[in-house]
Amino acid sequence: MLDETLTVYDRKSWLSLLATARAGRAKALLDPLEIPVDFTWLRRPEIGSVMIRGRAGGTGAPFNLGEATVTRCSLKLAGDTVGHGYVQGRAKADAQTAALIDALMQTPAAETLTPRLPDVLRSEQKERRHKRASKAAATKVDFFTMAPGEG
């Protein structure tokens, strides 16, 4: 059954899932797998800020929306695979888990990881979005009766 649902992720998409996952969630999913990891730091977790840029309406000229706190780190597995972790907020543990998973997803361990980590994170993200969207949809007001020329 697992094979049927096995999705192939590219690096960008799993990094995005890890960056948006809830605090501690990725670690909670990774720990029970008991994958032996042996890594060295390339860059220890550090906290900084990034400028978030936006476009009005998604198409306008880019402007600076504001700054966000970001924690990042980079590590190297025993087999020279490099993993980077970037998460929002002051979350050194989450950044470490994200970097670890990023590195592991580039190794053969990805096969075990995919159904248990990115898949789970993606469905949770979908659910979160759906919940939010339906909450917003409930407050939607339809003005069709106000349209001129009716009745």
Partner 1 sequence: MQTPSLQGGFAEPAREAAMVFRDIMTAMARPGQIETVAPGLGIAPLSDAAAAVVLTLCDADTKLYLTPRHDTEALRRWIAFHTGVPLTGPQEADFALGAWDDLTPLNRFRPGTADYPDQSATLIVECEALDPQGAMLSGPGIQSTTELSLPEVKAFRRNAQQFPLGLDFIFTAGVQLAAPPRSTKVT
CA 144 to chain centroid, in Å, comes to: 39
**CB nearer partner 1, residue 44 or residue 132:** 44
Q: How far is the CB of 141 from partner 1 (least distance, A)?
A: 47
**CB nearer partner 1, residue 88 or residue 106:** 106
Q: Which residues bind partner 1 (CB under 8 A)?
A: 41-44, 46, 74, 76, 80-82, 106
Q: How far is the CB of 12 from partner 1 (least distance, A)?
A: 14
Q: Does residue 77 contact residue 107 with C-beta atoms inside 8 Å? A: yes
Reference 117, options 44, 29, 39, 32; nearest CA is 29
Q: How far is the CB of 57 from partner 1 (least distance, A)?
A: 30
CA 18 to chain centroid, in Å, comes to: 3
Task: State the DSSP code for 71.
Answer: E
